[in-house]
Amino acid sequence: MTGDLRMVLRGGMVTQRLVIVTGLSGAGKTQALRSLEDLGFFCVDNLPPALIPKFAELCAQAANKINKIALVVDIRGGEFFDTFFEVLSDLDARGIRCEILFLEASNETLVRRFKESRRRHPLSTYGEVLEGIQEERSRLQDLRGRANKIIDTSNMAVQQLKEVINGIFADSAGVSGPHITVISFGFKYGIPLDSDLVIDVRFLPNPYYQNNLRSFTGNDAVVREYVNSFPLTSEFMEKFSDLIQFLIPQYSKEGKTTLMIAIGCTGGMHRSVALANRLGEILSDKDFRVTVRHRDINRSK
C-alpha cells in the first residue's frame, strides 16, 4: 500500500486515518499503541481482523466522528488472525485504506524481554521461547512484506520508540516532506535493518586514535570540532546534504511518509554521531521534520 495513507469511507464525507499495528510478540506493540493514544488515536488492542471493516464504519458514523484509529492485530488472535489478508482485501474493496506498522526485534532481544517479564510467548507450548519466536517470525513474513513501515526495536528504549512513533504519526501541518530519522550506528554492530539510505563515513579521520578524544563522543564539542576541522568533512557534508534535499521531494512524490538515513562509522561513537547531528541541524533549518538517534553511542564505553 503506497500513496496517501488517509482513507475515505466510500459514500461518506469523513476522512480517517486507520493504522494497524502488528509484528512480533515482545517487539513493543503495546508501547506503540500507548504512544498513538497519546497522539489522539482511538486505540483497540487485539481486535479480531474480521471486525476491522465494521469497526471503521462505526467510527465514521459516530456522532463525534472518530478520524484517527489504531488497532493492534497479531498472532494472539489465533485462527482469527489467519483471515487477516482476506480482511485487507475486503478493506480495499470497500475503499478503506490502512497503514500497516510492523514492529520487530532480534531473537536475542525478544528472548531476553520474555525472560525478564516472565511472560509466555503466545506460540510457546512448553516454555521454549525461541522456538515460539522463530515460528511467529516465519508466519508473519508475508505480512511484514505488506507493511508500510517497519521498526526494529532491538536497541530502543521505550522513550525512543515513543519519539519514533511521534515523528511518524504526529500531525504535520506547516512542515514539508516525510518525517526523517537520521540514525548513527557502528558497522561492527550491523546496519540498522529499517534504514532506507546508508552512508559510510569511515573514510574520515577517526577521533578514536586521538588519545585525548577517545573517551568522548560525537555529542561532545571537542569531537565535533575535530571531525569538522577537515576540509574533506566540509566538502562531504555539502554534497551529502544537497543529495538528501534533492531526494526528499522525490520520495514524497512516491508517497513515502518516512525516511531513515543511517550514517555509520566503525563503532558508532564519534564520526557518525557528529555528522548525524550536523545533518539533523541542516534539515531542521530547512523546516523538515527530523529526529536524530544514536544507536550505538554507548556500546564502546
- Whether residue 299 is contained in a domain is answered as no
Residues 186, 238 share a domain: yes
Is 241 within 8 Å of 199 (Cβ atoms)?
no
> What is the rounded average pLDDT of the residues 185-207?
93
Q: How confident is the model at residue 17 (pLDDT cuts 50, 70, 90)?
A: confident
Same structural domain, 87 and 183? no
Assigned domain for 301 exists: no
**What is the percent of the chain with per-residue pLDDT over 90, rounded to a whole number?**
46
157 and 138 within one domain: yes
* Residue 24 resides in a domain: yes
Q: Are residues 158 and 195 in the same domain?
A: no
Mean per-residue pLDDT of the chain: 85
Domain end (from 127, 153, 169): 169
CA 241 vs CA 166, 199, 220, 237, 280: distances in Å: 24, 12, 22, 6, 10
Residue 171: the pLDDT is: 61
Count the residues in the chain: 301
Which of 107, 139, 169 is at the close of a domain? 169
pLDDT, residue 199, reads: 97
Residues 6+ apart with CB under 8 A from 252: 177, 178
Quote the cell numbers at residue 167. 515523528
The model's pLDDT over 107-119, given as tens digits with 9 standing for 90+, comes to: 999 999 988 887 8
Give the cell for residue 43: 486505540
* pLDDT-derived band at 131, boundaries 50, 70, 90: confident
| Predicted local distance difference test score (pLDDT) of residue 186 | 95
Q: Residue 155: its pLDDT value, please? A: 86
Q: What is the arithmetic mean of pLDDT over 28-40?
A: 90
- In this prediction, residue 15 carries a pLDDT of 58
Distance CA 145, CA 47 (A): 21
Confirm whether 245 is domain-assigned: yes
Q: Concatenated DSSP letters for 201-213? A: -TTSPPGGGSTTT
Q: How confident is the model at residue 258 (pLDDT cuts 50, 70, 90)?
A: confident
What's the confidence (pLDDT) of residue 296? Answer: 92
Question: Is the same domain home to 26 and 116?
Answer: yes
Task: Tell me, yes or no, whether 61 and 152 share the same domain.
Answer: yes
Q: Per mean pLDDT, which range of 118-132, 153-167, 276-290 is the poorest?
A: 118-132
CATH number, position 43: 3.40.50.300
264 DSSP β-pair partners = 185, 200
Residue 253 counted as domain residue: yes
Query: Does 221 lie in the same domain as 80?
Result: no
Same domain, 46 and 159: yes
The dihedral sign for the CA sequence 74, 80, 85, 91: negative
Residue 150 maps to a domain:
yes
pLDDT tens digits for 38-71?
Answer: 888 889 998 888 888 888 878 777 656 677 889 9
- Residue after which a domain boundary falls, among 169, 194, 220: 169
- Are 140 and 193 part of one and the same domain? no
Q: Does one domain contain both 113 and 254?
A: no
What pLDDT digit, counting tens, does each position of 142-185 carry? 889 888 889 999 988 888 888 888 888 876 444 446 788 999 99
Question: Same structural domain for residues 112 and 258?
Answer: no
In a domain, 286, yes or no: yes
- Considering the domain architecture, whether residues 74 and 97 belong to the same structural domain is answered as yes
Distance, CA of 195 to CA of 183 (rounded, Å): 9
Q: In this model, does residue 9 exceed pLDDT 50?
A: no
- Whole-number pLDDT of residue 63: 58
> Which three-class secondary structure state does DSSP give residue 169?
helix
Whether residue 1 lies inside any domain: the answer is: no
Structural domains of the chain, count: 2
Task: Give the domain extent around 134.
Answer: 6-169
